[in-house]
Structures are given as C-alpha cells and as structure tokens.
Structure 1
Amino acid sequence: MSTQEPQSHPTLSELRAKAQPIEVRSRKNAEHWSAQLYLRHISIYFTMLLVRTRISANGVTGLMILSGWCIAASLLIPGIWGAVLAVFFSQVQMYIDCCDGEVARWRGTSGAKGVFLDKVGHYTTEGLVAVALGVRAVGEWKNLSDDPAGAYPYLLAGTVLAGLVLLNKALNDMVHVSRAFNGLDKLADSQAATALNPGFVAKLKRAARFVPFHRIYHSVEMSLLALVASIVTAIATSVDAAPLIGERWLIVVLAPLCLLSVIGHFMSIMASRRLS
C-alpha cells in the first residue's frame, strides 16, 4: 500500500476526526448558524471528494469566493427567481466555506494565505450583496435613465449599507490587529473572551437578544430577506400596490438598522475585555 494512500483516500471517520475537531465545531463566532445547524453534517462528504483531487485548500476558497459573487449577481435579476437563485448560491458559498478549512486541516496546509482569502471572500461578497440590494430596489435598468431622481435614494442606501456592513465586519478584525500591535495574545473565540464588563452596555446587549437585527448582515440572511421582499412585492403587485414595495422598504430599513448595529458593536468592544 502506498504511504500516500491514507492522505488522499481517508475513511470518513478519519477525515471527520482531523478535519472537524471539537474545537472547530464549538467555536463561538467563527461558525455561522447554518454551518452549526446542518452544513457541517454534510460538508464532510464533499470534502471527502476534494481531498482525492489535486485542488488546494486555497483553490477551494477561490470557489467559495466565486459562489459568493454569484449571490450578488443573482440579485440583479428582477423578481422572485433572482432572489431564489441568490439564496441557493448563499448556501453553496457557506457549504464550500466549510470544506476549504476541512481540506486544509486534513492536508496540514492551514496558513495566513487561506485566512486572507477567506476574508476577501466574505468582505467582497457581503459588500456586493448590499450594493445589489440597492440596485434591486431600482428595478429595471431603464429606470436609471427614465427616473434618475427616483432611483438615486435606493442606490445611495445600498452603497451606505455596503459601507456599514464592511465597517461592522472590520471592527472584529481591528480588535485582532490592535492586540497584535500591542503584543497581546490571540483572542480566544469563546464566550468568556468577549464578555462585557457589567454596566449599561451589557444591559443593552442582553436586551438586543430579543430583537437580534444585528445578525442579519451576512450573505445568507440578506439573501433570505431579499426573497421575502420579492414575495411581498409579488403579493402587493397583485393588488395594484406601489411597484417594488418589498425591495424598497427592505433597503430603506436595513441601512439605518445597520448603523445602529455598528454603533452597538463598537460600544460592546470598548466595554469588553477584548482590548486588554
């Protein structure tokens, strides 16, 4: 038997033990709820196929990035089917996002380049999806020339939303950069490491659990909201309501809520032990 066979043809139990260790499955912030709920249970089967090929873990991350961009591209297709396609690609992106790390852990090729590419994928995807929501609220492309004044607020809202979404994501990375620049240890991905000091901010965060709108600025959630908005528009159109009412209300509501999320996120970082 070749000494390379166990590396390229693992059993499912061998692969699961090394590629999905408990410390990965129990991470507090790094795992999206869809991964915890169902994707990790099925990603191992695609990983089993991937480790039998020559594709690198970074190559798998490249597929994740492309699928993420397809979410935004799908949202440029008017109507329900564009939103359905966006939801589909959001699941594909998260599925492959599970697999790239599993391939890296199995082959022992985890590194800074993989983390960097993963960040590029999620930052660009979520920024583009936010912009696409604004474009989607404009409707057909001809509306840009026929009614530029009417289209402008939605394009602006989408652009502002994109900037806020990216800032909200960057705040977490700013914490790690600040710790590294000051010689502090890597922040553990645990409840204790991000716990708030007792006080007003901690009370606000506990209250936010009942209305967790700060959790909707991910590609999965935004694509699902786009689908709901399309359904609302379809129903409203049947009773001669205003055009694109679902898409337009969605982008108008998401932008200010994201601003509140950014402010709350900043306050929670400053009120926690993350920078000490």
Structure 2
Amino acid sequence: MTVAAPALAELREVCQPQAKLASRNGEHWAGRLYMRAVSLRVTRQLVRTSVSPNTLTWVMVVCGVGAGGALLIPGLPGAVLAVVLMQGFLLFDCVDGEVARWKKQFSMAGVYVDRLGAYLADAALMIGAGVRAARGGSELWVSVGLAAALGVVLLKASTDLVDVARARSGMAPADEESTQPRSQGIATARRLASVFKIHRVTNGIEASLVLLAAAVVDAVVGHTDPTQVTVAAITVITWGMVVAHLASILSSSRLR
C-alpha cells in the first residue's frame, strides 16, 4: 500500500521550526535562501519510505568527504563536482533533521555523526584543495592545505568545546545572548567580520564556490597560480579566525 505524501504546509510546520531557521548559528544562510525549499520536497518523498534519519546523515558525510576527493580531479570538472557534492552535503544536512522531526526518530548517535560529518567535510575539502594547488608546483601546497584543514577543525572544535565545558559544569547550552563579547574592541571586530563575511570561506560550502572560481581563472590563464593564491588566502583567513574566535569565546559569557 502506497503511503500518501504529506502536504508541504503540514510538513513545513513540523520539519522546519521557525526557532531553528531564525537562529544565526543554527542555520546556514544557503539553507534559508534556497536549500530549505528544495529539502522539504525531498523530505516529502523520503518520509514515505523506511529510510532512517541516521542513514541520511551518513549520505551527508559521504557527499562532504567526496567533495574533497573531487578536487583531486584536474581542471574544471573536479571543481564543479566538488561544488555539486557540497550542495548535496547541505541538502542532506537539512533533510536528515527534517525526516527525524517528522518521524520522531531522534538519537544521540545521529547528532554525533552529524557533527563528525561537518568536521570531515570541511577538512577533506581543504586537503583536496592543497593537493590540487600542488599540481604543477611545490608539494609544499599539500602542507598548506593540511594547515587549512587543521584550522577549520579547530574552529569547529572551539565552538563544540563550549558545550562540553558547560555540560561538564552542569550548565545548559549557551544561548545567543551569551555569545556577545564583553570587550568593545572584540565586539567591533566581530561586527566588521559580519559585514564583510570574509569568515565564510572557512566553511566548505563557500570554500567550494571560491575554489571553483579559482579553477575557472586557472583554465583561462593556463596554470594553477590562482588556485594556489586562493588556498593560501583561505589558510591565512582560517588561522586568523581561529585566534579571533578563541578571543571571542573567552571574552563572552559562554564560559561564565
């Protein structure tokens, strides 16, 4: 017997709570801009099947890690495939939670794999970018990519470790108000970063688009210097963000 697909309005009310979509830290801008509209239609079909949210989370992980692997393919095809796979990563990052809310199938394992996937996807993309930059140049670029990968992992870990520290101290997760720096200088720097959005290149979704643009320029000029410059810039920005993010955490009320 075929199960009827739920109405989109009903599905949206259950699967896309406004509190989550409105959260600055809880929802990627691309999710709000377009992916939630796509994911809801995918979710509408998947809730009619026996597929579990955890299975969808693993699909998300495969897409994310695969994006890094795609960058090993020379030229534009590899860069385009990396973007497509990172968009798949974002899609299934939306879909797994939506299916979980509709089916009321929640698990700590799912949360754990979801966070692990975010670490792996961004790190794999940076490593792939480093290997890509090394083609036709020095093997040193592989180390630059590894440095970027380590930086993005530290960025994510520094955020997650706040929750670990609070949980071990018997406190509830930090709310958005507590993330505001108490230092006026750090608060100003944070506002400037928010205006220019430069920190977004530390995220695999945005980084894949930047690397695609670099690959286009590579194809025009006939060498990989643009990709090398891009990888170097991402690495510098990432490590600048590591220091800035740590300062922001320590100057806020999150650990007090």
Q: For residue 28 of structure 1, what is the aligned residue in structure 2? A: 24
TM-score for the superposition, normalised by structure 2:
0.95
Choose the corresponding residue for 2:197, options 181, 203, 212. 212
Shift of 1:210: 3.7
Listed one character per residue, the Cα deviations across residues 160-202 of structure 1 (whole Å, up to 9, x for unaligned) are 11101100111100100010111111223x3x23112142211
Q: For residue 240 of structure 1, what is the aligned residue in structure 2? A: none
Task: Tell me, yes or no, if structure 1 residue 199 matches structure 2 residue 220.
Answer: no
Choose the corresponding residue for 2:117, options 116, 121, 127. 121
Q: For residue 63 of structure 2, what is the aligned residue in structure 1? A: 67
Work out the CA distance in 1 between the residues paired with 2:41 and 2:144. Answer: 40
Alignment check: 8 A CA contact 2:100 2:106 kept: yes
Q: For residue 162 of structure 1, what is the aligned residue in structure 2? A: 149
Work out the CA distance in 1 between the residues paired with 2:109 and 2:159. Answer: 19
Number of residue pairs the alignment of both structures matches: 256
Task: Tell me, yes or no, if structure 1 residue 261 matches structure 2 residue 248.
Answer: no
Gaps of 5+ in 1: 144-149, 238-242
Q: For residue 48 of structure 1, what is the aligned residue in structure 2? A: 44
Q: For residue 130 of structure 1, what is the aligned residue in structure 2? A: 126
Pick the structure with greater CA Rg: 1
Q: For residue 108 of structure 2, what is the aligned residue in structure 1? A: 112
What amino acid maps onto 2:98 in structure 1? E
Shift of 1:11: 2.5
Shift of 1:36: 0.8
Listed one character per residue, the Cα deviations across residues 193-247 of structure 1 (whole Å, up to 9, x for unaligned) are 311214221122122234332221111111111111111111212xxxxx21111
Alignment check: 8 A CA contact 1:232 1:245 kept: no
Superposition pairs of residues 228-267 of structure 1, within 5 angstroms = 228-237=213-222, 243-267=223-247
What amino acid maps onto 2:132 in structure 1? R
Task: Tell me, yes or no, if structure 1 residue 79 matches structure 2 residue 75.
Answer: yes
Q: For residue 225 of structure 1, what is the aligned residue in structure 2? A: 210
Work out the CA distance in 1 between the residues paired with 2:244 and 2:77. Answer: 35
Q: For residue 13 of structure 1, what is the aligned residue in structure 2? A: 9
User: Which SS does the other structure have where 1:216 is aligned?
Assistant: helix
Task: Tell me, yes or no, if structure 1 residue 152 matches structure 2 residue 139.
Answer: yes
What amino acid maps onto 1:256 in structure 2? V
Shift of 1:9: 4.3
Q: For residue 96 of structure 1, what is the aligned residue in structure 2? A: 92
Q: Between the two proteins, what is the percent identity of the paired residues?
A: 35
Listed one character per residue, the Cα deviations across residues 65-111 of structure 1 (whole Å, up to 9, x for unaligned) are 11112211111111111111111111111011100000001111122
Q: For residue 146 of structure 1, what is the aligned residue in structure 2? A: none
RMSD of aligned residue pairs (Cα, Å): 1.7
TM-score for the superposition, normalised by structure 1:
0.88
